[in-house]
Amino acid sequence: LAAEQGQVSAQYNLGVMYFQGEGVPQDFKTAVKWYTLAAEQGVADAQYNLGQMYYKGKGVLQDYKTAMKWYFLAAEQGDTDAQYNLGWMYGTGKGVLQDDKTAVKWYLLAAEQGNTNAQYNLGVMYYNGEGVSQDFKTAVKWYTLAAEQGDAYAQYNLGQMYRKGEGVSQDFKTAVKWYTLAAEQGQVSAQYNLG
């Protein structure tokens, strides 16, 4: 009843409940309906979730451009997952022309707020010189932030950089530390390097 009267948090929560099948049968189309009502009133979580629905084609036809629209609105409100997803979409060319510089912009916004995936991807961009000048020291910075939050790929990449002396002084002991942390999470390349 509150949702039908325009109560935004009730609309958003109904979207979540229909999406997850909590107390009601799971129904993505109905989730989209409630998310849309909340998203149109500026609820960042609803905008992000609606972006996810369009990106994955759940309850709606898959539509990357519409996903980007909703991600953008959420990202502008500081939603780090939406910022990361915009970076990913620009980096991969999903729903938009591929643009590494714009990907870096969105990754940076999310990474500075602690988004692990964005920190890892920024490390990759700096390591490869995609959208930015190649800079191993900056790659180490972003990999370290992601690795310290438990990202196995960042841990592996740090191991590689310490082993090779890229952006840091060559340090086999530190390389082993990062490889071990990654390997313990099942990261196969790290397991191989320790073998």
Instruction: Provide the 3-class DSSP secondary structure of residue 150.
Output: coil
DSSP letters, 174-189, are HHHHHHHHHHHTT-HH
Q: What is the pLDDT along the chain (195 residues), one digit of tens a residue?
A: 555 656 888 899 999 999 999 999 999 999 999 999 999 999 999 999 999 999 999 999 999 999 999 999 999 999 999 999 999 999 999 999 999 999 999 999 999 999 999 999 999 999 999 999 999 999 999 999 999 999 999 999 999 999 999 999 999 999 999 999 998 888 777 777 776
Give residue 5's pLDDT. 58
Q: Return the axis-axis angle of helices 44-56 and 64-76, rounded to nearest 10°.
A: 160
Which pLDDT does position 3 carry in this prediction? Answer: 54
pLDDT at 195: 65
- The span from the first CA to the last CA of the chain, in angstroms, equals 61
């996810």: which residue's tokens? 52
User: What pLDDT shows up at residue 2?
Assistant: 54
Q: CA nearest 17: which of 5, 91, 38? A: 38
* Residue 148: C-alpha distances to residues 57, 140, 190 (Å): 34, 12, 16
- 25-28: long-range pairs with CB below 8 Å, 24+: 27/59, 28/53, 28/58, 28/59, 28/60
